[in-house]
Structure 1
């Protein structure tokens, strides 16, 4: 990758990592938060749900906005909202206040998901864009490895409120990057005004594009598997396996390494074998590993090393799926990249939210329900590829 693209990927990765950091750094604090605010584990988990739902819906705002006024201004607006919401969360006197503040955090963080993907589409296409997206994933993937550990360190000398203080500092640093380092990549000539009729026409064009919808849902079910894990992992690892906050952070980081490591090969494999074949094989591997792990766990073989190893392998396959699916869904739509990015992101986040809601009643904070929930998402991702994307036939040779 040329140096300018790598430098841009590094900047975008740092910005994109703020949203995941706001989730992952917070996970070790969930059990403590529930006790401190005098609420249930289920109510504490709603602070994640509110973040995800608003995060998903807000992407429909920032995409068209970035197509109309450029990429930098929506980033500035979103980060400022995130900063204000983070300060409010740190002062939350009740679980209801915190749920609302987390939703506002999601409103601000959504810009850091949508706009960077549109910037990638501004600068590159095809395998080159896949390589750039994979480089962004390097930075993003560090978040699941470092964020929970950072959260447990903060918890060692403070409380869950100090976690939000650290996030406020991170948002200030992000604002500095946007204002003083990030260039504008959408020229005035290429900007499109926010008008309802063109937006509806663009949305119709995307939603009737079988390839776009299929790739988006593949990514959505892949993301949903991660959401199911996030909403239950801290309780499973600390209650069932007796891990401390630091122990949970380490176990969580090991799982994330699979995703991080594999994502770095996405661009190279796409250039050598083609993006369609890479995503076909990867989604098959993801579903196969997770369904096998679910079967093993339900047979009573649920030792922690077995679970961590299975999640590692499944996330490795998912690491090839996510960046490839993102690039392939945006490539055919350069003139509405912002809208495509926001609509795709919204569909993916809402898919994740629906899967959390669907699996939530069956979750009992044990690995025997967590892993099958993840496997269900993986199976639906594979089924989407098999039924909705005939051009992405799951060829094994």
Structure 2
């Protein structure tokens, strides 16, 4: 669907400007990372409060990843069949109920269940944000909106550890779930008041046979598969680090919960800086060059983590500076690879977004499981994140071989267009 198609000209969706979609999409996409980053500062305290082990508490995060990962495969096609708006409200209601369950969880087993259900509900956020963008925009407009979503999204992980750490220190870990309850209610209210339906609901797409065919068509397309794997390596490393860093920075380095939360702002500052630089360079740099910048950042960070954490005792800057460089690379890769992967699939944008998210969160799920089994969080970080960076690099090389000449953004410098409603 081109930007000048009759559908875009005649549809009332033009009221949803690039800026509006970017902000709304950013809030939706931030649901998952915020629910994770709010929670991570509390993990060491939950170990002691429930009288359990680090491995058991890490399982709560693994359960969250698992629910998030697999639920995307359901909410994406459901949104193709019944609409983006009602499915988002349905899944956010699950998230809201799960947050209440977590607040009153009497045992670590109930907490694991609550976190699993939270992941199921939160999965709708990132899936719908990408699908809505694909419904409305293509080419350079899509890349611009995805970049804006990334900048808005970065505010969530920035606020999350800080808010989580301060809440933990002054009110206890139970209050963290009160914040999540308010978050879920706010997102539902936003969907009801400010978001229009952007898809063309078609219940036939939810039939098992049609659903299998949709996913099969995506998986057998190397262009989609390798673009998704680029982001699996990049963002999977970020999700994996979230399960590891609290135990490195709080248990090994000795940061307090509030200091840990404030310290995570450095990582977010790198991401925001990357997003702003990306936006400036969009007018004069090719997609290939933009992707190379991203891969150079993630690759350099991978080497630093692999070497420095094996030579020196971990410290705050020793961990956070390489991670900051890593997330700066993610800021460059995400808009390009997301736009490129989803461009050929306008009719199944929800399914394409879901499968892409499944790959990304699956990377975090596998990384979290392996890191828990490795025992030493420092060795886990020095091993798993560089391997994921390598996966991202190899996948990009393969994507570049199979990429489709579908849009100017894949081959030429990105130049901004004027949007009548922007």
Q: TM-score, normalised by structure 1?
A: 0.93
| Alignment pair present for 1:86 and 2:86 | no
Alignment partner of 1:158 out of 145, 168, 171:
171
Rounded Cα–Cα distance in structure 2 between residues aligned with 1:77 and 1:50: 20
Aligned to 2:261: 249
Rounded Cα–Cα distance in structure 2 between residues aligned with 1:274 and 1:386: 16
**293 and 346 in structure 1: CA distance in 2 versus 1, 3 angstrom threshold:** closer
**329 and 388 in structure 1: CA distance in 2 versus 1, 3 angstrom threshold:** closer
Aligned to 2:110: 97
Aligned to 1:72: 85
Rounded Cα–Cα distance in structure 2 between residues aligned with 1:263 and 1:202: 32
Rounded Cα–Cα distance in structure 1 between residues aligned with 2:36 and 2:324: 20
- CA drift of 1:273 comes to 2.7
Aligned to 1:343: 355
Rounded Cα–Cα distance in structure 1 between residues aligned with 2:86 and 2:149: 21
**101 and 228 in structure 1: CA distance in 2 versus 1, 3 angstrom threshold:** same
Rounded Cα–Cα distance in structure 2 between residues aligned with 1:262 and 1:361: 33
| Alignment pair present for 1:221 and 2:233 | yes
Aligned to 1:120: 133
Q: List runs of 5+ in structure 2 lacking aligned partners.
A: 1-14, 404-422
State the aligned residue count: 392
Aligned to 1:4: 17
Aligned partner of residue 340 in structure 2, secondary structure: helix
- CA drift of 1:270 comes to 4.5
**299 and 193 in structure 1: CA distance in 2 versus 1, 3 angstrom threshold:** closer
Aligned to 1:311: 323
Aligned to 2:413: none
Aligned partner of residue 110 in structure 1, secondary structure: helix
Q: Which segment drifts farther, 346-355 or 231-240?
A: 346-355
Q: TM-score, normalised by structure 2?
A: 0.87
**210 and 362 in structure 1: CA distance in 2 versus 1, 3 angstrom threshold:** same
Rounded Cα–Cα distance in structure 1 between residues aligned with 2:318 and 2:123: 35
| Alignment pair present for 1:106 and 2:109 | no
Rounded Cα–Cα distance in structure 2 between residues aligned with 1:97 and 1:154: 22
Aligned to 2:341: 329
Aligned partner of residue 312 in structure 2, secondary structure: coil
- Runs ≥4 residues deviating over 4 A: none
**3 and 120 in structure 1: CA distance in 2 versus 1, 3 angstrom threshold:** closer
- CA drift of 1:280 comes to 3.4
Aligned to 1:395: none
Aligned to 2:7: none
Q: List runs of 5+ in structure 1 lacking aligned partners.
A: 393-397
- Does the aligned pair in 2 maintain the 1:148–1:249 contact within 8 Å? yes
Aligned partner of residue 115 in structure 1, secondary structure: helix
| Alignment pair present for 1:372 and 2:367 | no
What is the CA RMSD across the aligned residues, in angstroms?
A: 2.3
**284 and 211 in structure 1: CA distance in 2 versus 1, 3 angstrom threshold:** farther
- CA drift of 1:307 comes to 2.5
| Alignment pair present for 1:22 and 2:22 | no
Alignment partner of 1:169 out of 172, 178, 182:
182
